[in-house]
Amino acid sequence: MAISQERKTNPLARLIKPRKAKASSAELKLFEAMQAGKAVGDKMWQEAAKTHTWLHFTRHSPYNKIDMTIIERGEGHYLIDSKGRKVIDGLSGLFTCNAGHARPELAEAAQKQMMELDFMPLWSYHHPRAIELAERLLSYAPEGMTRIFFTTGGTEGVESAWKIAKQYFRMTGKPQKHKVISRMTAYHGTSHGALSITGIPAFKQMFEPLVPSAFRVPNTNYYRAPHEFKNEDEFGIWAANRLEEAILFEGPDTVAAFFVEPIQNAGGCFTAPKSYFKRVREICTKYDVILVADETITGYGRTGEMFGSIRYDIQPDMMVTAKAITSGAQPLGALFLKEKFFEPFKEGTATLAHGYTFGGHPVACAVALANLDIYDREKIVDNVRTNSPVFRKTLEKLYDLPIVGNVRGDGYFFAVELVKDKKTKETLTGVEAEKLLRGFLNTALFDAGLYCRADDRGDPVIQLAPPLTIGPKEFDEIEQILRGVLTEAWKRLNS
Ligand SMILES: Cc1ncc(COP(=O)(O)O)c(C=O)c1O
């Protein structure tokens, strides 16, 4: 039915603005079908998506020739696309769907909350679900955390942590303390503040100048340590000492915070030895630098403890969390803080002039509470702790492939680094990485039944972070898929 005629016969169609004559055919076809209550499917989605949408962190030119992958459904640890392909979700969406997809408990919690209180901001007013969730979150938290500042995601958590750090020092007699330090290749988000903390030059260049006063120190990439160390602990001390050096270079009176992930994602799952976090804690205490654990990915069980900060005894002063707090079913973030940051705000007119309309959304909080019920009931974190060594062992079988240089990570969070030469650790050139990762691996892995990430923000890696509900059977399936595709990748690299 033409839109003009539909507008006459369908009362709802009155609400639809008439299309301008120059609207594209793709738009009209999908739009018309939807209004007529007809089924829309892959072909219409492809056309309209390519014509009118813009994906995040995505090169669009390939879609001039090939179809997009449109994920239509999630079921447990599977994703099903608009062409009917069913693949293992080896990345939990984007490190989010830790309890698996389409959990009825989460849907029910959302519906119940929407009918009770659909929305209320945390601006001067409060609502029960945020209060209950804060209490619940703190019951799992590392020692000393007493306050929760809600956001809608990781970037906002990082941004909030920096702003709170600045204001805290202004209000406690150290107004010069405003600079931040983070680690090379670390990803901490995309807003101007969070992007300044991010350590990936390629993501920043187009947006310079960013917020001044953000500096980088080496990460804990032991596989590519700059020189020989007796052992990983010695390397850990070396890496931590670079933080002290940077604080001294900048002047301790000017440095407010150090941001660190318990396991660094970008670059490929850089874990750190015990010595590292112990020394980092000492340094931060010595120079009164706030230690911020960015647990956007590692929070909520990924490492085999509720938080990486607990697993690695990081003892942070603030902790950024997001993503899996709702297992991805709602956007939500929670910044955990020690009481000292709140002290200056307890009396008088002091206010934190910062917030987000949807931070601590009641529906998201209700879903987070239901998600934590699932965690407790199904002992999700125990499952990771028990099975992580099996996952590691299964992935380490891939060492017999010439292209696999390093398998690293912890919990349900592993990276497989790809090399040209195992002995020399020679990495792929930019052109080879481009050809292999973008031109082959991501698509080939998906076609073979595995959604995961082939990434070259550092050296080329394949990253795995499946839902925390899976076990040895799925590890074997993942290994078999990787084996087949990486064998082919090696042939292509050498052809
Ligand atoms: C460590 C870390 N910090 C911050 C972010 C940004 O989170 P968001 O995309 O929810 O803003 C991410 C995203 O993956 C992350 O991994």
Number of residues in the chain: 495
From the CA of 264, how far away is ligand 1's center (Å)?
11
Kindly state which CATH superfamily the domain 380-493 is placed in: Aspartate Aminotransferase, domain 1 (3.90.1150.10)
From the CA of 40, how far away is ligand 1's center (Å)?
33
What is the maximum alpha-carbon separation in the chain?
80
Render each residue's pLDDT in the chain as its tens digit; 495 residues: 344 454 445 544 444 454 554 555 555 689 888 888 888 999 999 999 999 999 999 999 999 999 999 999 999 999 999 999 999 999 999 999 999 999 999 999 999 999 999 999 999 999 999 999 999 999 999 999 999 999 999 999 999 999 999 999 999 999 999 999 999 999 999 999 999 999 999 999 999 999 999 999 999 999 999 999 999 999 999 999 999 999 999 999 999 999 999 999 999 999 999 999 999 999 999 999 999 999 999 999 999 999 999 999 999 999 999 999 999 999 999 999 999 999 999 999 999 999 999 999 999 999 999 999 999 999 999 999 999 999 999 999 999 999 999 999 999 999 999 999 999 999 999 999 988 988 899 999 999 999 999 988 889 999 999 999 999 999 999 999 999 999 999 999 998
Pocket lined around ligand 1, Cβ cut-off 6 Å: 153-155, 158, 187-189, 261, 265, 294, 296-297, 322
Whole-angstrom Cα distance, residue 392 to residue 407?
8
From the CA of 314, how far away is ligand 1's center (Å)?
19
From the CA of 323, how far away is ligand 1's center (Å)?
8
CA angle (194, 263, 261) in 5-degree steps:
30
From the CA of 439, how far away is ligand 1's center (Å)?
26
The pLDDT of residue 26: 57
Beta strands in 154-193 (DSSP E): 179-183
Whole-angstrom Cα distance, residue 335 to residue 331?
14
What is the number of the ligand 1 atom nearest to the C-alpha of 295? 1
What is the number of the ligand 1 atom nearest to the C-alpha of 154? 7
Beta strands in 11-166 (DSSP E): 71-75, 78-81, 86-89, 145-151
Predicted structure pTM score: 0.94
From the CA of 187, how far away is ligand 1's center (Å)?
7
The pLDDT of residue 492: 93
What is the number of the ligand 1 atom nearest to the C-alpha of 152? 10
CA angle (118, 124, 130) in 5-degree steps:
45
Domain boundaries, the chain: 21-68, 104-378, 380-493
- Name the H helices within 353-471: 362-378, 380-396, 430-433, 442-448
What is the number of the ligand 1 atom nearest to the C-alpha of 156? 11
* Token output for 75: 């079921």
Whole-angstrom Cα distance, residue 413 to residue 393?
13
- Whether a cis peptide bond, with omega within 30° of 0, leads into 209 is yes
Whole-angstrom Cα distance, residue 156 to residue 150?
9
Q: Which residue among 323, 335, 413, 463 has the greatest number of ligand 1 atoms within 8 angstroms of its CB, and so is best to mutate?
A: 323
Name which of 283, 316, 284 is nearest 298 in CA terms.
Answer: 316
CATH of domain 104-378: 3.40.640.10
What is the number of the ligand 1 atom nearest to the C-alpha of 194? 4
What is the number of the ligand 1 atom nearest to the C-alpha of 158? 4
Write the DSSP assignment of 30-75 as a string of letters: HHHHHHTT----HHHHHHHHHHH---TT---GGGGTS----EEEEE
Helix-strand-coil percent breakdown of the chain, rounded to 5?
A: 45, 15, 40
From the CA of 177, how far away is ligand 1's center (Å)?
25
Whole-angstrom Cα distance, residue 96 to residue 93?
6
Residue with tokens 């988000």: 189
Q: Which residue among 296, 413, 457, 463 has the greatest number of ligand 1 atoms within 8 angstroms of its CB, and so is best to mutate?
A: 296
Nearest CA to ligand 1 atom 7: 154
